[in-house]
Amino acid sequence: MMQIFRAIADIRSVGASVVTVGTFDGVHLGHQAIIQQVKDFAANHSRQSAIVTFDPHPRKVLGKGPVTILTTTAEKLDIFADAGIDQVVVIPFSREFAALSSEAFVTSVLVDKLTVREMVVGYDHHFGRNREGGFEALQQLGRRHGFTVHQVPQLVNGGEAVSSTYIRQLLETGDVAKAARFMGRRYCIEGIVKPGDGRGKQIGFPTANLELS
């Protein structure tokens, strides 16, 4: 059963791990390729597979404009569990956490808590204060702390790069079918049905007023 930790202090390492870090909004085909590599490396070396993600979405906290959330944290956790991940850390994202340097994040979370031995990241991965840490910085930290870093190239589907941003654009223009292809599953939304003005009864057609979660 997948272990879920919702605070850094709660993490209990059960041995050396293979880790990936990211928001994983949409858990699209590109994210799935990263997760598969995490699982493969973990299986090949008898290590734990681990994902570190954030809640809420960093852009919401840092005020970098509105962002449409493709998957809730609960949905992401379900997908990670179905994928067979061993451990997930959901870090409460705040401005204080965002101020951590890349090295402080790596040492305090990945090294000290998760006993990272291998790390898998995407082609555009950055981390730490002001996104100061990239792939080369991770490699340097890996050499210092005893872990290897693997980079997954950008995934292209039908000549188009797969990204959360592009999927949001597809949904905004109503191309739900194409968004689903890039996500690798149907797109769905969650919400609570609320009472409306009774217009459905007036037109003889049932309707539902959905308050999005």
The CATH number linked to 51 is 3.40.50.620
pLDDT at position 66: 82
Whether residue 199 lies inside any domain: the answer is no
Global confidence as pTM: 0.89
pLDDT at position 200: 65
Whether residue 163 lies inside any domain: the answer is no
Whether residue 160 lies inside any domain: the answer is no
- CA atoms of 21 and 38, how far apart (whole Å): 11
pLDDT at position 211: 66
Whether residue 58 lies inside any domain: the answer is yes
Whether residue 56 lies inside any domain: the answer is yes
Q: DSSP readout, 147-180?
A: -EEEEEPPPEETTEE--HHHHHHHHHTT-HHHHH
- Which residues, given as ranges, of the chain have pLDDT below 70? 190-191, 198-201, 204, 210-213
Whether residue 48 lies inside any domain: the answer is yes
Q: What is the pLDDT of residues 139-194, one digit of tens each?
A: 999 999 999 999 999 999 999 999 999 999 999 999 999 999 999 999 887 667 77
Of 135, 134, 138, 131, which Cα lies nearest the Cα of 106? 138
Phi, psi torsion values for 195, nearest 5 degrees: -65, 145
**How many structural domains comprise the chain?**
1
Whether residue 29 lies inside any domain: the answer is yes
* Domain region containing 84: 3-154
Whether residue 117 lies inside any domain: the answer is yes
Copy the structure tokens of residue 38: 């995490």
| 6 contact partners, CB below 8 Å, separation of at least 6 | 90, 92
